[in-house]
Structure 1
Amino acid sequence: MNWLSFIALMRDIYGPKLPDLERLQARGLLAVKIGQTFALRIDFLGEDKCRHLAQLYRRTTPIPAEDLETLMNRYCPAGWREHFSSIERRPLAAASVGQVHRAILRDGQEVVVKVIKGDFKERFTADVRRLKQLMRLATWAYPKLQRVADPVGILEHIEEYTLAELDLRNEAGHARVLRELQEQHQHWPMLAPLRFPRIYEELSGEHVLVTEYLHGRTFDELLEQGRLPYEELLKLFLIHGAYMFGLGVFHGDLHPGNIFWQDGRIYFVDTGALSQVSDTFRQGLFAFFEALALEDYVAAACAIHRMSRRALPAARWEAYLRQFMDLYRDFSGKTVSQVSLTRQMMRTIQLAVHSGMEFERGMYPIIKSLMYLDGMVLKCNPDAVLMQDMRPHLATFKRHFEGPAGHLNRGRAQPAVLSS
């Protein structure tokens, strides 16, 4: 991907017509990943365009059946097929990297076989390298772009989690990490609804993964059908919050196609990407969202300032606080359709950077999570006042995060403000 094809991609996404998905996929894996990122930006693109781009999660061009056989013969050791009584040729679903096929083991267990669709790595890494060069040039010409939007950091994150997806051993290993953390904190009630499908690691490898077949539906499918209960979506917020705010390790690609709902349980799948957040951001973000839920906007401004590596002089702090209060003047009681949480968060970070704060790299996984979750709420319950709905759960979060097995350290109550 060069700068011309990148500009063409942006014109397709932002243009008046629905993007041509076949043409987008023909531009390569990086273009697909960018398209998937925009699929949740219902606040920027509108519902019709986001619904259209969301097809990239599960309806990308499947491998013809004969190619599936070729790939399994190439990737799987001798005797591997003997463990199965049948493998369906037609895929259940296809995504940007792999596709899954229903199968039955010799003992009658229903499973799915996930296969990497092809050798994407060489072209993908070349595309990322070229686009990084373009973005570095852009940030050299406009330095604040790096601090506000961090385009290079975004590309590095896309590169990291996509390369991780291309090795299915990561999916098995990361699911094990998340499951073990859940078991270690099984007394946390917010983690109780979470499950992980069984992974048959003895039948899996770098290019093939065999997992338990789930009879439920993805959040993506339920959202499309208007059948996802809002209460279940709130459970997902609590689960993700426990991992991100309480444990500092979380599912790095929690889009609605990677979440199953079955028998009242929430299943995490496609755990190839695992993200981590530093203690500074984890603690600061929890304090920020807690303050938003309680409508204490001075405390919210202080929480953002605590995450900065540079304390503001007194005069700048006062100017920042005035602008922050103005930014949140009409935030209270607003539904997610009236005020996008993702857009508000982006504006908050932009204000902080323009005021002179500096933040560590690595914010994109957090912003990406907000994009996914914010987009799901917009589709599920656009009249929800999300911050108010999260308010009753704050005490539970704090009790477990600050307890003997918790990890939350609130730090100083007010930011250190330098004298001018």
Structure 2
Amino acid sequence: MNWIQFGRLIHSIYSHNGKLPDLDWIQSLGLLAVKLGQVHALRSDFLEPEKCEHLSKLFRNNYAMGAEDFLHLIESTAVQNFTSHFEEIEPEALASASVGQVHLGILKDGTRVVIKAVKKDVRKDFIADVSSVRRLFGFISFFYRKLKRVGNPEAILNDIEEYTLSELDLRKEVDGVRALALIRDKNKDQYDFSKLSFAKVHGSLCNENVMVSDFIPGPSLDELLDEGKLDYDTLLELFKIHGYYMFCAGTFHGDLHPGNVLVDEDQGHFYFIDTGYIGRVGPKIRKGLFYFFKALTENDFTEAANSLSEMAEVPLTGDDMKKFQSDLINLYENFPGKSVSEISLTRQMMETIKLGVQAGMSFDQGIFAIVRSLMYLDGMVLRCNPDAVLMEDMKAFIDDFEKFM
């Protein structure tokens, strides 16, 4: 993707000309373009709902390679004698994502599994595109030095790069399943994890290019949202589980978009998939963000400002802190009691971080993984229950998390 194509991509997403972005063209630009489209699919706080719904198709409707190409891919990149372990590998793709493709298979012992393989050359092309866009940001920043303080697009690009490169090494996905399952199992006696499971991974058949795990038949949250069948209470239960990982453990699924959560038929049980990127934050960030959100649920915006400052690498003091407190109070003046369709949590968070950066704060890179998780939640709520007052509905869970801080 060259600079002109990148400019056209951003224009197609942000323009208000009534035209929807061409998804086939976006996919033809490569993985970085698809990831940018996916990120914006949940930004209905400033994009038209129709455009967000259209972009959300990038979570699941990606170009699929043919059966022969897939078999050739796994034969050339999987562990030795891979196909000899299978009774059958279905020729039609179960799913095709920007990173790889998934097919159903049956092992010799009759176990139904999914085979996930990373598409050829996708890593090399992604790294080249990130490098090209980073040079563009550097060029623009040279002439427009306020860019970093206004939006810090390079930090967002770094975040996309980090979690995408993790997804491209399927050994990290295997490690991610183990890490999240370990936290669940170590804490299940003090916290309710009964609604969370992970598919069994067949480690001897996995390497960086190919992964095999048990088949989970349930739909994704994205599919349910698309069909208008997702219950709002299901999203709150998801926050109850994911929030513990973020705020209490500091180790969490770093890319929990609606396509990466499967549920059973009754929407009573969750399965986290695509665990290649595990977000990790230290006590300073996880506790600071927790108390920031706790203050928001209590409409205590002075305390919210204090919590945000304490998270910064160098906290604000004196007149700078007083001005930041005043600016934050003004930003959240109309926030209490508002539904997600009236005032988006995502937009408030982005404006909050912008205020902090403009005040002179800098934050650990790990903060973006948590902000992205909350952005995903906010985007799902907007599609599921736009009249919800999310901060009020989160309060009970926030209070519960405090016991484990």
Normalization by structure 2: what TM-score? 0.95
CA–CA distance in 2 between the matches of 1:324 and 1:158?
Answer: 28
The C-alpha deviation readout for 1:52-86, integer Å capped at 9, x for no partner, is 11111111000011101211221234532222221
For 1:123, the equivalent position in structure 2 comes to: 125
For 1:49, the equivalent position in structure 2 comes to: 51
- Provide the secondary structure at the position in 1 that maps to 2:106: strand
- Provide the secondary structure at the position in 1 that maps to 2:93: coil
The structure 2 residue matched to 1:338, chosen from 320, 338, 342, is 342
Q: 1:143 to 1:358 in 2, by over 3 A?
A: farther
Q: Confirm whether residue 135 of structure 1 aligns to residue 123 of structure 2.
A: no
**Residue identity in the other structure for 1:216:** G
CA–CA distance in 1 between the matches of 2:81 and 2:94?
Answer: 24
CA–CA distance in 2 between the matches of 1:343 and 1:77?
Answer: 45
For 2:13, the equivalent position in structure 1 comes to: 13
Query: What is the Cα-based RMSD across aligned positions, in Å?
Result: 1.6
Unaligned runs of 5+ in 2: none
Alignment check: 8 A CA contact 2:251 2:279 kept: yes
Give the superposition deviation at 1:366.
2.2
- Provide the secondary structure at the position in 1 that maps to 2:400: helix
The C-alpha deviation readout for 1:271-297, integer Å capped at 9, x for no partner, is 011111232211111001001111222
The C-alpha deviation readout for 1:97-150, integer Å capped at 9, x for no partner, is 111111112222111111112121222111111111111233343444324533
Q: Confirm whether residue 207 of structure 1 aligns to residue 206 of structure 2.
A: no
CA–CA distance in 2 between the matches of 1:188 and 1:232?
Answer: 22
Give the superposition deviation at 1:190.
4.5
Give the superposition deviation at 1:171.
0.6
CA–CA distance in 2 between the matches of 1:269 and 1:159?
Answer: 19
For 2:260, the equivalent position in structure 1 comes to: 258
CA–CA distance in 2 between the matches of 1:204 and 1:315?
Answer: 56
Q: 1:79 to 1:357 in 2, by over 3 A?
A: closer
Q: Confirm whether residue 234 of structure 1 aligns to residue 236 of structure 2.
A: yes
Q: 1:321 to 1:64 in 2, by over 3 A?
A: same
Matched ranges for 1:188-203 at <5 A: 188-203=190-205
The structure 2 residue matched to 1:392, chosen from 380, 390, 396, is 396
**Residue identity in the other structure for 1:9:** L
- Provide the secondary structure at the position in 1 that maps to 2:46: helix
The C-alpha deviation readout for 1:195-236, integer Å capped at 9, x for no partner, is 111111112222111111111110001111111111111111
Q: 1:190 to 1:48 in 2, by over 3 A?
A: farther
Alignment check: 8 A CA contact 1:293 1:387 kept: yes
Q: 1:366 to 1:140 in 2, by over 3 A?
A: farther
For 1:165, the equivalent position in structure 2 comes to: 167
Matched ranges for 1:175-190 at <5 A: 175-190=177-192
Q: Tell me whether 59-68 or 140-149 shows the greater mean CA deviation.
A: 140-149
CA–CA distance in 1 between the matches of 2:373 and 2:340?
Answer: 16
For 1:328, the equivalent position in structure 2 comes to: 332
Alignment check: 8 A CA contact 2:79 2:207 kept: no
CA–CA distance in 2 between the matches of 1:364 and 1:189?
Answer: 26
Give the superposition deviation at 1:343.
0.4
CA–CA distance in 1 between the matches of 2:383 and 2:262?
Answer: 17
**Residue identity in the other structure for 1:14:** Y
The structure 2 residue matched to 1:27, chosen from 29, 46, 50, is 29
Q: 1:358 to 1:278 in 2, by over 3 A?
A: same
Q: Confirm whether residue 382 of structure 1 aligns to residue 357 of structure 2.
A: no
- Provide the secondary structure at the position in 1 that maps to 2:279: strand
Q: 1:248 to 1:143 in 2, by over 3 A?
A: farther
Normalization by structure 1: what TM-score? 0.91
Give the superposition deviation at 1:323.
1.9
